[in-house]
Structure 1
Amino acid sequence: MAATADPLEAFYFEHEEQQSICGQPVSPITDGFDANYPSVVDRFFTRYYYIRANAAYQVLYHSNRICLICLAPSHPALAQGVSTLSFDVGNVDRSQNVVKGKGKKGGMILQADSTLALLTTETGQTYKIPSCIRGKLVEVNAALVAEPKLLEQLPEGAGYFAILLPKIENCDLIREKLLTQEQYEEYLKTSHEQDTEHLETSKEQKEEEHMKANKEEPGHHGHGHSSPTAAKLYKFTVKVLKIAVKSL
């Protein structure tokens, strides 16, 4: 069956000829494109972060209290590659959460350290995704079960884990316990410095162990062992003495 021609195909590309409306010239809409225009997240959400077991999670906090739980850019799962995601955390399946009405009645009440989902990476590592805040579970992003790669592709969009709604009276305390963008960046800087220091310390320890092992090898100078040069000299001396004895 032949494909049907798209009647709008001619309008998908910018026309070179001047466009006009009621005789007035109109600039192409692409002239108003601003690559630096703030995203939806930048305009309507505030980024906060929650740290658990040296892994960072992002909380996108909307002005109406709605919170989206996501992976932070530094989360190791993004580097390892996301393989699977499940909302069945063992004792309960978060995907079975049901809410009703404007008050979102019936939603599961979660604590900040409650397990929201289980994420497995391509390296076989499993992460228990925390709820990050105390609040009512409004919905989980069920699409992640079939398309877990959305966590990598659209971490601040279709790659969110779930939507939580905290109580009004808890909002200030919740924000105080989370890291701001500036604090998160400082956390990354400090973590990087600590990792670098740890690597340097490990390198120095390995070098010291290597030097110590060399000193303890037979034939090395010191500790009562003969050096290779001394051993050769001894053999040469013995050989000369044998020749001298035979010549007597």
Structure 2
Amino acid sequence: MTEQNTTKSHKNPEIPDQETLHPGTEQNPMIENKQGGGGEEEEEELKRLLVPNVEDLPLSPPSAIESNFTTYFLTDFLYPGNDQYVHRHANGLCIIGLAPYHVAFKDELGISKVSFDVGKTDRSTIKVTGKRKKVMCFLKFVECCVKGSLLEVNERLIEHPQLLNSSANREGYIAIIMPKPQDWLKAKALMLSFEEYQKLRETC
């Protein structure tokens, strides 16, 4: 009898077989379905983050003032009704103007004239003129509520005083100043937010 030598192959347990390395599509349907479902969920989540809900959007985009400045209000500065606003930038720059309930706006005809000619050196005070009747007028001197270096006065108000009546918080601003940090902190301690200011004036 002829002996036949049979060679048996022994698999290395550390090396997976071919089926393990390359699983067939039909043999692993659950894996593919799971991967496909996860991709759809991630895509929906991405859309939710990138595309906001239309109902959550504001009726109009925020203005440059709303985006870049914080607004404060000071009431009755130096005399009753002298309400002013301060738009403050993060770099310390302040835009000063007349607040909505300023006494100068109470006249039915509004503000008809603005003058910065109140002295040789101090231009931080302006003279606002409004007509009550054809032969009568009233004057209001408005002094800046924040101490600082005067960078600019809004000279457009000289030829276009109606800007104070139509857009006092934007194009109708009075001046731009740069206060020292200690002067700003002192003034800020007396100021109100818009909600606080509106609530105060509506109850007065």
- When normalised by structure 2's length, the TM-score is 0.62
| Equivalent runs, 1:62-101 vs 2, <5 Å | 62-80=89-107, 81-90=110-119, 92=121, 94=123
Give the distance between the partners of 2:91 and 2:171, measured in 1 at CA: 19
* Alignment CA distance shift 1:190-1:61 (3 Å): same
Give, as a single letter, the amino acid of the residue that structure 2 aligns with 1:88: D
Aligned residue number for residue 63 of structure 2 = 39
Give the distance between the partners of 1:66 and 1:43, measured in 2 at CA: 15
Give the distance between the partners of 1:157 and 1:188, measured in 2 at CA: 21
Give the distance between the partners of 1:90 and 1:169, measured in 2 at CA: 27
Stretches of 4+ aligned residues off by more than 3 angstroms: 90-93
Whether the 8 Å contact between 2:93 and 2:177 is mirrored in structure 1 is yes
Give the distance between the partners of 2:194 and 2:170, measured in 1 at CA: 18
Q: Which secondary structure does the structure 2 equivalent of 1:46 belong to?
A: strand
User: Any unmatched runs of 5+ in structure 2?
Assistant: 1-56
Whether the 8 Å contact between 2:147 and 2:184 is mirrored in structure 1 is no
Whether the 8 Å contact between 2:95 and 2:174 is mirrored in structure 1 is yes
Give the distance between the partners of 1:136 and 1:92, measured in 2 at CA: 12
Aligned residue number for residue 122 of structure 1 = 131
Q: Which secondary structure does the structure 1 equivalent of 2:192 belong to?
A: coil
Whether the 8 Å contact between 1:41 and 1:156 is mirrored in structure 2 is no
Give the distance between the partners of 1:183 and 1:126, measured in 2 at CA: 28
Give, as a single letter, the amino acid of the residue that structure 2 aligns with 1:118: K
Aligned residue number for residue 57 of structure 1 = 84
Give the distance between the partners of 1:63 and 1:134, measured in 2 at CA: 17
| 1:38 Cα deviation from its structure 2 partner | 1.4
Give the distance between the partners of 2:182 and 2:85, measured in 1 at CA: 22
Number of residues of Structure 1 aligned to a counterpart in Structure 2: 139
Q: Does 1:145 align with 2:158?
A: yes
Whether the 8 Å contact between 1:117 and 1:129 is mirrored in structure 2 is yes
Larger helix percent: 1
Give, as a single letter, the amino acid of the residue that structure 1 aligns with 2:103: P
Aligned residue number for residue 24 of structure 1 = none
Q: Which secondary structure does the structure 2 equivalent of 1:125 belong to?
A: strand
Whether the 8 Å contact between 2:146 and 2:184 is mirrored in structure 1 is no
Give the distance between the partners of 1:34 and 1:178, measured in 2 at CA: 27
Q: Which secondary structure does the structure 2 equivalent of 1:177 belong to?
A: coil
| 1:92 Cα deviation from its structure 2 partner | 4.2
Q: Which secondary structure does the structure 1 equivalent of 2:185 belong to?
A: helix
Q: Which secondary structure does the structure 2 equivalent of 1:163 belong to?
A: strand
| Equivalent runs, 1:180-219 vs 2, <5 Å | 180-191=193-204
Q: Over aligned residue pairs, what C-alpha RMSD do you find?
A: 2.0
Aligned residue number for residue 184 of structure 2 = 171
1:123-168 deviation per Cα after TM superposition (whole angstroms, max 9, x unaligned): 2221111211111111111111111111112212210110010112
| Equivalent runs, 1:150-161 vs 2, <5 Å | 150-161=163-174
Q: Which secondary structure does the structure 2 equivalent of 1:158 belong to?
A: coil
| 1:62 Cα deviation from its structure 2 partner | 1.4
Give, as a single letter, the amino acid of the residue that structure 2 aligns with 1:76: V
